[in-house]
Structure 1
C-alpha cells in the first residue's frame, strides 16, 4: 500500500471517538427528539425524513427501521423518506428546480402533528431548509439533524440535533447513531410481550 494505512486508520478512529464521546453530554438535547417521534407515532402520525446524498441514504435507512423493524418484531410504524420516488424527484427538479423538491412533497404528504426531520450535515442545504419551512407551515413538529455549525436548518426547526463535529463523515456517523437510538426508544414503547 502506498498510503500509511495505520496512520489513516488511527486518524479516522480518533475523529470518530472524539465525536461519539461528545454525545455523552448531549442527552438533554436528544431526549426531546425521542418524545417528538413517540408522541407523533402514538397519535397516528408519521415521521418524514429528507436529505441529500449520504443524508438521503440515512433518511431511507431510518424510515425503513420504523416501517420494518429496528431490533424486535412489533407493529409497523409510519416512516416515510422523501428521497425514494425517482419520478417525483426528477419531475419536480426538471419543472421547478431542485431547491423546492422536499417542500413540494411536504405540501402534498405532511399533516399537522407529523414529524418532519431534515438532515443536512452542513446545515445549509437549501432544499432541506425549504422543506423544514414548508413543514412548519403544515403544522409539523420539525427536527433538523446537522453538523456542529448547522445554524440555518437548526434555526428553522423546532428541535435540532447538531452532531459535535465539522467533518462530514463523523457528522453522518453521529446522525445514524442517534437515529438508531430514537428508533430503539420508539420500538421499546411498541414492544409486544
Structure 2
C-alpha cells in the first residue's frame, strides 16, 4: 500500500512538472507574451532612469509576488548594483487595515497609488483572474495619476486589458501555473532592466 501511494505521488509530481513545462513552452511560443515583456522592460527602465519608481500590488499569492518583485529591484537579482526604486503596496499593515476599515478593502491599493504615485511612475498590478476589485481600482487610480500601468494576469485577464497600458497574459487558466509564469516573467523583466540601467563591469 505504501509503495502504491509513493507511485501515485510520483505520477502526480511528474504530471504537474509536465504541465509547468508545457505552460512555459506556450509562453515562449507566444509572440504577444514576449512583446509585452519587452515593452515592460522599456517603460520600467525609462521610468527608473528618469527618477520614477515602480509600485507593485496583488492579493494572496500575487501579494507575495508583488513583494518578491519589489525586493529584487531594491536589492539585486543577478549581481551587485545600485538599488532601483520599487515599493510593494502590500506590506504596510497599518495603511492596509486603516484603508480597509475606513473605506473598504477594495480601496487598499487605490488609496496608496493616489497618495504615492506620480506621473511617469509604473504600476505593476497582478491578478490571476483579472477580476480583483482592489487591483482594478488601483489600475484606474494609476491611469488617473498618469502612471504607466502594467497588468499581469491569466489567459483571459478579466477587466485588466482595458485598464492596462501593457498587459502580460500567462497562457493558462490554472492559478498556480499562472503564478509560476508571473514570477518567471518578473525575473526576466527585472534582469533585463538591471542589465540596461546597471551594466556589469567589463571583464578583462
What is the TM-score when the length of structure 1 is the normalising length? 0.97
Cα root mean square deviation, aligned: 1.1
Cα distance per residue 1:2-51 (max 9 Å; x no partner):
47202211221121011100111332232111111111111110010000
Alignment match, 1:191: 199
2:71 maps to what in 1?
A: 64
Structure number with bigger Rg = 2
For residues 125 and 93 of structure 1, the distance between their equivalents in structure 2, rounded to whole angstroms, comes to: 15
Equivalent position to 1:108, from 107, 115, 139: 115
Aligned pairs, number? 193
What CA distance in whole angstroms lies between the structure 2 residues aligned with 1:175 and 1:42? 24
- TM-score norm. by structure 2 comes to 0.92
Which whole-Å CA distance do the structure 1 matches of 2:45 and 2:117 have between them? Answer: 17
CA distance in structure 2 between the partners assigned to 1:19 and 1:171 by the alignment:
9
Match of 1:175 in 2: 182
Q: Deviations over 1:42-100 (max 9, x none)?
A: 11100100000000000000000000111111111001100000000011101111001
Determine the structure 1 residue equivalent to 2:150. 143
1:5 lines up with 2:9 in the alignment? yes
- The one of 76, 80, 94 equivalent to 2:83 is 76
Structure 2, gaps ≥5 residues long? none
| Structure 1 runs of 4+ with >3 Å offset | none
Kept in 2, the 8 Å contact 1:145–1:154? The answer is no
Alpha-carbon distance in structure 1 between the residues aligned to 2:124 and 2:140: 11
**Alignment of structure 1 residues 20-169 onto 2, 5 Å:** 20-25=24-29, 26-169=33-176
In structure 1, stretches of 5+ residues that fail to align are none
2: CA distance, partners of 1:191 / 1:69: 13
Counterpart position of 1:17: 21
